[in-house]
Amino acid sequence: MKNQTITVRPLSAHTGAEITGVDLAQPLSDQTYLEIRETFNQWGAIFFRDQDITPTQQLEFARRFGNVTPDDYASNLPLVDGYEELKEIVRKPDDPRNVGGFWHMDKCFMPDPDMASLLYAKELPPYGGDTMFAHLGAAFDALSPGLQATLETLSTVLIKSRAYGDGGTPAPGVTAEGYAEALEKFAGIEATHPAVARHPETGRKVLFVGPVYSDRFAGWTREESLPLLDYLSGILTRPEHTCRFRWEEGSLAMWDNRAVAHYALDDYPGHRRSMHRVTIQGPWLEPTSAAA
């Protein structure tokens, strides 16, 4: 019987696990929820296949993990069936690029990012469109003790507009006009977070540095920061620190923005991809003793 016990199949050594034995259209017992939460904390990203759920059922599942409120920030995304908490992430065949086609943590450029994101596949291209995940804890563990100690004294400035270009040069798929518009529209949307922080539920230290949104270390210039940021990005995205999830219709993914970065691959030109997204608020990362 489903929703009585779960089976967990890890996808890699550090992150990503598929969970079977669960029907998300039905209420979860407290024990099943606790097992799912434990798996979520351990692997950072969890996946369910062959789910047939309504928007209401997707929201009910999300609310087991934290507060779900209208995603006012992502105002450019269409609502799903009028639900203010549920947005459609869609790439149309003629769109020049997809949403999230680079390594990032959702809304890391905000002072209080969402704890988790939950994505449900509704319409997929005939090929491609996978999502990759990289564990921030594995990246921190791969650093030398000396670099770990140094980073624990630093904070990172993360800027929204970095996704659209850098230093006057538009990002791939972004026109010069679109870049200028983004600089104006997202002016001032930035936040400073400790470069190393502690996960509030597992206690694990993570490297909270994003390859795109991270602009510089606080108190450093961008020129001074880039060599170290580039090095850390390379550590974060090492293949052995990642997993790759191949979507099927009815698949649902949930990931921890405090523990993993993700990358939505844009390798299906001329095709449509539609997903339903819910974001979840909850306890955020805690400063380490060195950064406090």
Q: Out of 36-40, 94-98, 188-192, pick the least confident.
A: 94-98
Sequence length of the chain is: 292
Domain ranges across the chain: 1-292
Structure tokens at 110: 């905000």
Asked if 133 and 254 touch (Cβ cutoff 8 Å), the reply is no
Please give the Cα distance from 150 to 148 (Å, whole number): 5
Using CA atoms, how far residue 67 sits from 63, 75, 127, 254, in Å, is: 6, 19, 34, 15
pLDDT score at 120: 98
Is pLDDT at 134 greater than 60 in this prediction?
yes
Please state the rounded mean pLDDT for residues 258-278.
96
Q: What is the pLDDT of residue 1?
A: 57
Q: In angstroms, rounded to a whole number, what is the distance separating the alpha carbons of residues 155 and 194?
A: 4
Mean pLDDT in residue range 86-112:
92
In 3-state terms the chain splits into helix, strand, coil percentages (rounded to 5) of 25, 30, 45
| Cα torsion 162, 69, 82, 120: sign | positive
pLDDT of residue 291: 53
Please report the pLDDT score of residue 75 as a whole number. Answer: 54
User: Which residue bears the tokens 């470069």?
Assistant: 195
CA 247 to CA 8: how far, in whole Å? 17
Rounded average pLDDT over 14-42:
96
Q: Kindly report the CA angle at 93 between 182 and 273, in degrees rounded to 5? A: 90
Residue 277 CA to residue 211 CA, distance in Å, equals 23
User: Please, what is the average pLDDT of the chain?
Assistant: 93
Closest CA to 117 of 142, 99, 140: 99
Give how far Cα 29 sits from Cα of 32, 64, 108, Å: 5, 11, 32
pLDDT digits (tens, 9 = 90+) for 205-252: 999 998 999 999 999 999 999 999 999 999 999 999 999 999 999 999
**Rama region for 17: left / alpha / beta (φ>0; ψ in -120 to 50; rest):** beta
Task: Judge whether 210 and 160 are in contact, CB under 8 Å.
Answer: no
State the pLDDT at residue 292.
45
Contact by Cβ (8 Å): 237, 11: no
CATH of domain 1-292: 3.60.130.10
